[in-house]
Structure 1
Amino acid sequence: MIGKPLFSAGESDERAEGEGSVTVPTPLARFLTPSKRLSDEEAFEILYNPRRRHTMAFLHRRGRPCSMEELVEHISATENGVPIGELSNQQRRRVYVSLYQTHLPLLDETGAIEYDQERQRIAPGPAAPELIPYLETPTERPVPWRAYYRWLLLAYAVVGGAAVAGLVPVPSVWALALGGVLLFLGLAALHGLDRRR
C-alpha cells in the first residue's frame, strides 16, 4: 500500500464553486501552490487511493486526454476483473460517482489533472510529470496459468493413455484419477494465491 490515509474523518476544507461545492481534504490543500515541487510524502498522499492511481496511469499510457466514460469503463473493468463489455450499470455507476464527487476534483485541485466537468474531459495536469515516476513499478512477467493448465491436461492424458495401454504400471484407475484431481486442485490453489497478491 502506498503512503498513509489522506485525511482523518472530519478534516476537510470546503471550497464553494457555484452550486456544487467541492470538499478538498485539508492535507491536500497545501499542495495547491503550482510552482512548488512535490515531496515523496505528498506524492504518496495524492496517489494513496487506487482510483487516483488508475486515473493517472491511464492518462499516462494514453498520452492524450480521455472522456469520463472511457476512464470509468477502464477503472470499472480493472477493479471487477471483467471485460468492458461485461460491466453492469451498477459497477460503472459506483466508479463514476466516486470519481465525479471526490477523486477527479481532488486531482484537478492539486494540478495532477485538468478536469473539465462540463465537457467530461480529463487531461494530464502540470503536476502529472512529478507523479508519474511514483506509478512506475518494475513490471513482473505474468504467470502463464493457461499454459500450466494445458500442460497438466496434456501430461495427464499421456500418462493416462500409457497406463490404460499397460505401458506404465499404476495401482488402479482410481489412483490415477485421484492423482489427476489432486494435481489440478494444487495448481488451482496456486493460481488463486497468485491472483490475490
Structure 2
Amino acid sequence: MSEGSAVTPEANTPTEMEPSDIHDILRNDRRRLTIKNLQEQPDGTMGVRELSEAIASLETGEDPPPSDKRQSVYVSLHQTHLPKLEEFGIVSYDSDEKRVCLEDRVREVEVYMEVVPRYGLSWGEFYFGLGLLGTLTTIAVLLGVPGVEALGVTVTATVFFIILMLSSTYHVYAQQDRILFQRFRKE
C-alpha cells in the first residue's frame, strides 16, 4: 500500500485508494482479468479453479487450456493476486472455500479500467462514433448530398436521437443491473 493511504482499523482496507494503488492493481493482466471475469458473473462470485481456468483460457487462446497453464494461473491467483485484491477491499477471498467475490470497492477501479466489450468498442467510443455519424449525416442532408437529402433534417435527427436514447438506456440498465445485484447480495 502506498504511504499516503489511510487505513480503517476494523477492515484494514484503505479509506480512499491512491492513484498509485489503483495503478499497481490494474497494471497486472491477471488482476484485470480476475475483475473482468467476476464482473461477468451475475452474482460477482467464482470458484478459484473456475476463475483460473477462465484466465488460462484467455491467456492461451485454448479451451480447455493446458493443465500446466491452469496450475500456474491458479497458484499465482492464490498466492499473489487474490490476496492483493483482498487487501484493497476489491474482492473477498475465502481461501478455505476457494471462493472469490467482488466487493463494492471495485467501483473505485472500474473507472480506470473500461473493459472493451467483445465487439471491440468501449461505450465511450460507441457514443463518439454515433455522435460523429449523426453530425456527418445531418451535414450531408443540409448540403443536399444525393440519396441522403431525401431523409430531411427532422427524420435524420429523430433517428439518431432515438438510437442514442435506446443505447444509453441499455448502457444504464446493464450497469444498474450489476450494481443492484451486488447490493442485494451484500444484504
**TM-score normalised by structure 1 residue count:** 0.52
Tell me, in whole angstroms, the C-alpha distance in 2 between the residues paired with 1:137 and 1:57.
7
Change (3 A) 1:59 1:35: same
Of 26, 36, 40, 1:47 maps to 26
CA deviation profile, 1:116-146 (whole Å, cap 9, x unmatched): 000000001231111122221455845xxxx
Of 107, 110, 116, 1:132 maps to 110
Tell me, in whole angstroms, the C-alpha distance in 2 between the residues paired with 1:74 and 1:28.
34
Aligned residues: 115
CA deviation profile, 1:12-48 (whole Å, cap 9, x unmatched): xxxxxxxxxxxxxx54894754462224332111111
CA deviation profile, 1:61-114 (whole Å, cap 9, x unmatched): 213211111100110000001112xx2210111101111111111111110100
Change (3 A) 1:140 1:81: closer
Tell me, in whole angstroms, the C-alpha distance in 2 between the residues paired with 1:29 and 1:124.
25
Tell me, in whole angstroms, the C-alpha distance in 2 between the residues paired with 1:75 and 1:103.
12
Identity among equivalent positions (%) equals: 30
Structure with the bigger percentage of helix: 2
Pairing 1:82–2:66 present:
no
User: Which structure 2 segments of 5+ residues have no match?
Assistant: 121-187
Pairing 1:92–2:87 present:
no
What does residue 51 of structure 2 align with?
71
Structure with the bigger percentage of strand: 1
Pairing 1:61–2:45 present:
no
User: Which structure 1 segments of 5+ residues have no match?
Assistant: 1-25, 143-197
